[in-house]
Amino acid sequence: MTSMRILTFLLLTSLLSAVKLCGQTSEPFEFFKLSDYPKDKYLIKLATVPFGKLKIEIRQIKLLDDKLNSSEFYCRGWLTITQGKKVVKQLYFKSIEPVGGCSGLFIPDKQPRKDIFILSKFGDYDGRIFLIDTLGRITEKMGGIFSISKNKRFLFSTYGSDLSGLTVYDLNKKLILFSGNLKPQLSDWYFQDKKYFAVVKYDELANAKIEIATFNFRTKKIIITTADKTYPKAENKLNVLNDINGAKSCNCGR
């Protein structure tokens, strides 16, 4: 192999590695050792949930005293998926910073479906949505709080960040329909007049009009239009899951 071919190979390898790492919030896995986290210094939160033949375990750790030195962390988490005695998948979050809001891994009070397990990560100005199938495979995209269509087919998860973003997922086909940044900040999702749309957030509105962001399933794009403030009907609003707004305790999970 010539030197030029070797250089090209190394560059391609580096690019592929960067693509694989892009969007991943977890880090190289480190095993949890109870002896590293004495009870007089750390609070350990543990949630274990059965999911079909799998068991999903979320362990999170925070300091009892939030005063940090350079070697400490705000929140540390482990996500472990097992089937019997076999470990199917493990993710490790070395340090999740609250950055003025909630932090950690959050499981909704009730899963919307039996064939997929959904959880959210908040903090770091980088909210994520994790979708786990019955084999323990994980799909991770930008997200945070999420809404499910009333027929339980579509998931809409807005980006938990100071930036605006959205992930739309087809739960029946296990398919990402959209995941990316947006210009408008989105609020609640609705299903009305045979379309799914979100109200665009505003600080103040002096007129009677609002903007709505409709997801076009054919083009996989968001379409912005105007409507009367009275157009979205409360009974058509989709329920919000993993809503952390107003939570009194959400530092490193509930």
The pLDDT, as a whole number, for residue 68 is 65
How far apart CA 107 and CA 119 sit, in angstroms, is 5
Nearest alpha carbon to residue 94 among 106, 104, 85, 84: 104
Question: What is the model's pTM?
Answer: 0.86
The pLDDT, as a whole number, for residue 1 is 46
The pLDDT, as a whole number, for residue 72 is 80
- Number of Cβ atoms within 10 Å of the Cβ of 83: 16
Running DSSP on this structure, what letter comes out for residue 27?
A: B
Ramachandran angles phi, psi of 7, nearest 5°: -65, -45
Low-confidence ranges of the chain (pLDDT < 70): 1-25, 68-71, 203-206, 246
The pLDDT, as a whole number, for residue 205 is 56
The pLDDT, as a whole number, for residue 15 is 39
Query: Tokens in use for 27?
Result: 């880090």
Query: Tokens in use for 170?
Result: 């087809």
Extended beta strands in 97-220, E state: 104-106, 116-122, 128-133, 138-142, 146-148, 154-158, 165-170, 175-181, 186-192, 195-200, 209-216
The pLDDT, as a whole number, for residue 20 is 36
How far apart CA 250 and CA 196 sit, in angstroms, is 30
Nearest alpha carbon to residue 78 among 35, 37, 29: 29
- Residues with Cβ within 8 Å of residue 70, at least 6 apart in sequence: none
| Residues facing residue 237 across a β-bridge | 190
The pLDDT, as a whole number, for residue 6 is 40
Assess contact for 149 and 191: CB atoms under 8 A. yes
Tell me which amino acid residue 58 is.
Answer: I
The pLDDT, as a whole number, for residue 28 is 86
Enclosing H/E stretch for 81? strand 76-83
